Chain A
Amino acid sequence: MKNYKLKIKSCFLMLFNYFRSCESTQVVLDLTSEIVKKKTVIFRFFFILHFTFYIFNCLYCADIFLQLKSGGRKTNIFIYPTDNSRHSADIQKIVSEDLVYSGIFNLISLPPDQLFAKKLDFNKTDRDIAVANGIDTIVKFEIKTSKNKIILSGYCWDVVSAKKIFDKDYKYADYETRKVAHNFSEDIIKSLTGQKISFSSKIAFSNTMSGSKEIWCVDYDGKNLTRITYNNSISVLPKFSSDGKYIYYTTYKEGNPDIFRYDFEKNRSVPFITFQGLNITGSASCDGKYFIATLSKDGDPELYLFTAEGKIIRRLTYSRGVDTAASFSPNSNEFVFVSDRGGNPQLYIMDIEGTNLRKITYSGYNDSPCWSPVGGAIAFTKRNGAIFDIYVMDVSTNKEYQLTKNSGSNENPAFSTDGRRIIFSSNRTGKYELFSMFADGSKQKPVGSIAKESTNPVWSQ
Chain B
Amino acid sequence: MRNAEQTQNITRNRRGTRMGFLIFNHVMLNLFQHLFRSRNKFGVTLFVSFLIFNCLFTGCAKKKIVRPPEPVTTIEKQTEEPSLRGKEYKNVPQLATVYFDYDNATLRPDARNILAKNASWLKDNSDVEIIVEGHCDERGTTDYNIALGDRRAKSVRSYLMKLGIKGNRMATISYGEERPVDSGHDEAAWSKNRRADMLGRIPENVPKEILNDKVIKKKNPKK
- Please list the residues of chain A having a beta carbon within 8 angstroms of any beta carbon in chain B: 1, 5, 8-9, 12, 16, 19-20, 23-24, 26-27, 30, 36, 213, 234, 236-237, 250, 252, 254-257, 274, 276-278, 280-281, 294, 296, 298-301, 315, 318, 321-325, 338, 340, 344-345, 365, 367-368, 381, 383, 386, 388, 409, 411-412, 455-456
Q: How far, in Å, is A281 (CB) from chain B's closest CB?
A: 8
A256 to B174, CA, bound (A): 9
Among residues 35 to 85 in chain B, which have CB atoms less than 8 Å away from a CB atom of chain A? 41-42, 45-46, 49, 52-53, 56-57, 60, 65, 70-71, 73, 81, 83-85
Q: Which of the listed residues B86, B87, B142 has the most CB atoms from chain A within 10 Å of its own CB?
A: B142
Q: How far, in Å, is A143 (CB) from chain B's closest CB?
A: 45
| B166 is an interface residue with CB less than 8 A from chain A | no
Selected from B49, B71, B85, B175, the residue in CB contact (under 8 A) with A19 is B49
Q: How far, in Å, is B185 (CB) from chain A's closest CB?
A: 9
Interfacial chain A residues near B53, Cβ < 8 Å:
12, 16
The chain B residue with its CB closest to the CB of A315 is B70
Q: How far, in Å, is A282 (CB) from chain B's closest CB?
A: 8
Known A322-B147, A367-B141, A412-B142: A236·B85 in contact at CB below 8 Å: no
Binds A, one of B5-13, B90-98, B107-115, B148-156: B148-156
Contact indicator B71/A318 (Cβ below 8 Å): yes
Contact indicator B150/A278 (Cβ below 8 Å): yes
- Please list the residues of chain B having a beta carbon within 8 angstroms of any beta carbon in chain A: 41-42, 45-46, 49, 52-53, 56-57, 60, 65, 70-71, 73, 81, 83-87, 103, 139-144, 146-148, 150-151, 154, 172-176, 178-179
Contact indicator A299/B143 (Cβ below 8 Å): no
Chain A-chain B contacts (Cβ-Cβ < 8 Å), number: 118
Contact indicator A280/B49 (Cβ below 8 Å): no
Interfacial chain A residues near B87, Cβ < 8 Å:
255
Contact indicator B84/A299 (Cβ below 8 Å): no
Selected from A23, A237, A322, A344, the residue in CB contact (under 8 A) with B142 is A237
Interfacial chain A residues near B148, Cβ < 8 Å:
322
Contact indicator A298/B73 (Cβ below 8 Å): yes
Known A252-B175, A256-B173, A318-B71: A367·B140 in contact at CB below 8 Å: yes
Contact indicator A24/B42 (Cβ below 8 Å): yes
A412 to B87, CA, bound (A): 32
Contact indicator B73/A257 (Cβ below 8 Å): no
Interfacial chain B residues near A277, Cβ < 8 Å:
81, 150, 172
Selected from B45, B146, B179, the residue in CB contact (under 8 A) with A257 is B146
A133 to B219, CA, bound (A): 87
- In the A-B complex, the 9 residue pairs with the closest CB atoms: A301-B147, A368-B141, A322-B147, A324-B147, A325-B143, A23-B45, A254-B85, A234-B178, A367-B141
A8 to B63, CA, bound (A): 13
21 sample A-B contacts, Cβ–Cβ < 8 Å, listed by A number: A9-B60, A20-B45, A213-B178, A236-B142, A236-B146, A236-B178, A237-B143, A256-B173, A257-B174, A277-B81, A280-B146, A294-B143, A296-B150, A322-B147, A322-B148, A324-B144, A338-B143, A344-B103, A368-B144, A388-B140, A388-B141
Contact indicator A300/B151 (Cβ below 8 Å): yes
**Further pairs besides A300-B151, A324-B143, A383-B140: 8, Cβ < 8 Å:** A254-B86, A255-B87, A256-B173, A257-B146, A296-B147, A325-B144, A365-B103, A383-B139
A286 to B197, CA, bound (A): 39
Interfacial chain B residues near A234, Cβ < 8 Å:
175, 178-179
